Structure 1
């Protein structure tokens, strides 16, 4: 099995290489990741200028992974990685330094990279770690990475799964995406020259529901959420068709 590993935190992120090392227990790993952080870029692709890629020395020597540093988005990295390395059997994205839960899936570059692999007909998964102000401990997380990869590889293919780890997992749950309403917050400020700037933030108006990805991680469980690309609201579509 050949496995393409990417992320949105950039080629120098320790989470990328922790995932690559864990994935190497299941097959041959190649890496294509952004040269700078691309968090919250969503599924952006580069069309206005060429995308460049440079060979990158893996920080891990045993095992050693062929790698490219890509001047582009996470989705670019997957498309270009498939071109540079040839056919692969699995696309993995992460481990992101921070969660990708609930509404965060919409703008996550980590999830978008996995989606790009799935668009090519490949099984794909995104991995994120909820830090809660803590430093990541990827050595402690490694057994859960391996256990989760084993679980995913037993699924019917292709699949698209969004995985989130709490800092200290106690189990794994299959979950649905948390959908809840948020109150938008704009925090104004001023720079040293007195020019105004604004921080955009949001706070939930209710707690996460039981059985959702956010609830699972809050309870200390690894959350695995199967995703799909079809966003059609079937409940609204059917009545509309009936009246046409």
Structure 2
């Protein structure tokens, strides 16, 4: 299997090194990642300036690795250009969860989405982070198990996978769609200039069966996603209303 690995934490993140090591058990690994952190970049694509692709100064046990002065989605586009034989794109392991509504702005998931847009299966992988960096070795076996489960499906797919620090099993889940409290926190820098931090806090508890619930209960969450955002129920309602209106006319 030909595997392309990227992330949004940047080429220097320990998470991408951990993922590259685990993924090597499944096939040939190549790495194309941002040269600096691109967290919460979403699905931004660079089109107003050229991009550069440079050999990475980081050694990945002999694996080919490049850094790009662009977004995670840029990295996938360039990676699939130089490695057209790629069969799957892995994005992560992100230091910080990508659960529920955070999927909307996740650079990690955006890289996986970009892969699917270009006809390649994309898998995003993330884990919570506290005051210290995650212990990737603690759940390495579950990363391998999750990939094995997903690779069993040979069809094109998009998956969002989240690992608790100490997993006790795997669960297939749906996205937790719950209200969040968007907070803007003002502060002062050392020069007494005002700046702002933007953060969010879930307002409601996660429902059982969702990604947030699974990770909160120490299960690895695997959520199959799709690119079609159409609200099917609302569309059917409007189409049915249009049919009734035409009958009345």
Give the TM-score of the pair, scaled to structure 1: 0.95
Aligned to 1:59: 59
Aligned to 1:94: 92
Q: Shift of the alpha carbon at 1:57?
A: 4.1
Kindly provide the CA deviation profile for residues 178-208 of structure 1, in whole angstroms up to 9, marking residues without a partner as x.
Answer: 1111222222223344433222222222111
Aligned to 1:83: 81
For structure 1, the residue ranges without an aligned partner over 5 or more in a row are: none
Pick the structure with greater CA Rg: 2
Structure 1, 23-32 or 182-191: larger mean CA deviation:
182-191
1:172/1:224 contact within 8 Å kept:
yes
The total of aligned residue pairs comes to 242
Runs of 4+ in 1 over 6 A off after TM superposition: none
Q: Shift of the alpha carbon at 1:134?
A: 4.4
Q: Shift of the alpha carbon at 1:17?
A: 1.2
Instruction: Say if 2:39 is the partner of 1:43.
Output: no
**Residues of 1 paired with 2:44 and 2:38: CA distance?**
10
- 1:133/1:191 Cα in 2 relative to 1: closer, same or farther (>3 Å)? closer
For structure 2, the residue ranges without an aligned partner over 5 or more in a row are: 243-249
Instruction: Say if 2:10 is the partner of 1:10.
Output: yes
Q: Shift of the alpha carbon at 1:243?
A: 2.2
Aligned to 1:148: 146
**Residues of 2 paired with 1:42 and 1:186: CA distance?**
19
- 1:224/1:60 Cα in 2 relative to 1: closer, same or farther (>3 Å)? same
Q: Shift of the alpha carbon at 1:35?
A: 0.1
Aligned to 2:133: 135
Aligned to 2:189: 191
Kindly provide the CA deviation profile for residues 125-165 of structure 1, in whole angstroms up to 9, marking residues without a partner as x.
Answer: 00001124443112222111111111111014111100000
Q: Could you say what secondary structure the match of 2:100 adopts?
A: coil
Give the TM-score of the pair, scaled to structure 2: 0.93
RMSD: 1.3
Q: Shift of the alpha carbon at 1:30?
A: 0.5
Counterpart mapping for 1:115-134 below 5 A: 115-134=113-132
Q: Shift of the alpha carbon at 1:236?
A: 0.7
2:128/2:164 contact within 8 Å kept:
yes
1:171/1:220 contact within 8 Å kept:
yes
